[in-house]
Amino acid sequence: MRSQGKFLKLGAFCGVLVFAVSGQAQVGAENLQCGQEREVQAGLLTEATYNRMNSAFEKLGNEKYSEALADLKKLSESRLGDFEKASVHQAMGFAQAQLEDYEAAVRHFEEAIRLNQMPNQAHFAMILQVAQLYNVLRRYDEALRQLDFWFCVSTEDAKKQADVWMLKASLHVQKEDFSEALAAVDQALELRPDAPESWFQLKLGMHLQLKQYRPATEVLKTLIHFSPDRKEYWIQMAGSYLELNEQAEAMSALRLAHRRGLLSTNSEYLQLAGLLQDMGSPRFAAEVLLDGLDRGFVEATVRNWEAVAGAWYQAREMEKALAAYERAGALASDGKIDLQRASIMTSMESWSGVTEAATRALEKGGLNESQQGNAYLIIGMAQFYLSDLNAAEQAFKRAENYGRIRTAAREWLNHVQQTRNQMASR
């Protein structure tokens, strides 16, 4: 049974490749049907065969596999009974497997199974070993057929091998039969309470393939317990909650990942900031984006600085919003953001800033007719409140040339003239 563990280790998690389906029947089915109890008489080795086999096993135990194989090959050419032949082929299969000649190992094990002479434990172990070797050879359909046959003829106690259920799961993955794979993983996990992280990873993968997001979140909690600093788990947790339309939980997962210093991409920071803003936490959204910008994870683009500004604006942090809009406007190819900044400062009656921002908006260009007229109008308003009536009048006359702004511009021109008259009459 030494080889069994190795085959499972080698074959349980091979990459996904597709091979042609073989028509070969299960090895051993010619002698034993599903559900049938196997009865075989105990075989005997002659003294000469026993001595030569014992010598070969000593070499196998000392990892002299090639020497042992050569001895066993010579022995196989002798006149032997069926039990002796089966014993020799079993040993040769083991030696070939250790030499990583898996095709030859399969042939020897299959011949030993066909002879149907070995005791039950050895016979069924070889059926399982053939399945494992087919898996190593990436002949997945044959491996699954052989493994299903092993399950069919084995005792209930023999089936309580968690590693074998994981082999079955991996083979169903190759066939993209994710429901069967998940069922096999669950059997394995039930049999092994101390299962490794990789088993839960496979279970998670099956839930995600089947779009079973609720159980996926439960598996992710276990995986995070294994590896709390593995970013992938937190991102998958957030994604699963989003699929369930549970934005608050998704935000919490991403926020915890951020606190652990795990977020490292532009999209991750933007997603967290967006969720924070949607959940009524614009201040935290702005702080997250600024952290990403400082660390270089968030790209210093117009759009991202606008997102920072928008979050600060929603949080009623106007000075911080204006600073972010200024950064965005400096990167923009047109003056639209500067005009927006000017409009905010108009509501704040920050007239010097209004003039600077609106003037820069006009200089950069890219404004439609209505935006141009509005820029001149608010420049005029700023100059008026700064007591520069001449500059205000000039700006309002420019604004008068734009249809939608014309009425407001003329009203302001009248107001300028009234102000002059009042000043002259004093």
Of 30-34, 180-184, 224-228, 281-285, the poorest mean pLDDT is in 30-34
For residues 227-235, average pLDDT: 97
pLDDT at 232: 97
62 is a domain residue: yes
Query: Which pLDDT score is estimated for 363?
Result: 96
Residue 390 has pLDDT above 80, yes or no: yes
CA nearest to 185, candidates 157, 163, 208, 155: 163
- Whether residue 102 is contained in a domain is answered as yes
Decide if 44 is inside a domain. Answer: no
Domain for residue 211, yes or no?
A: no
273 within some domain: no
CATH number at residue 143: 1.25.40.10
**Is a pLDDT exceeding 80 seen at residue 39?**
no
Asked if the structure places residue 73 within a domain, the reply is yes
Provide the pLDDT confidence category of residue 28 given band limits of 50, 70 and 90. low
Q: Is residue 149 part of a domain?
A: yes
Total domain count for the chain? Answer: 1
- At 30, the pLDDT band (50, 70, 90 cuts) reads low
Is 206 part of a structural domain of the chain? no
Q: Give residue 105's domain range.
A: 1-15+25-31+49-161
Arithmetic mean of pLDDT over the chain: 91
Q: What is the mean pLDDT of residues 116-128?
A: 92
**What pLDDT score was predicted for residue 31?**
65
pLDDT digits (tens, 9 = 90+) for 76-121: 999 999 999 999 999 999 999 999 999 999 999 999 999 999 998 8
Q: Does the structure show a pLDDT above 80 at 426?
A: no
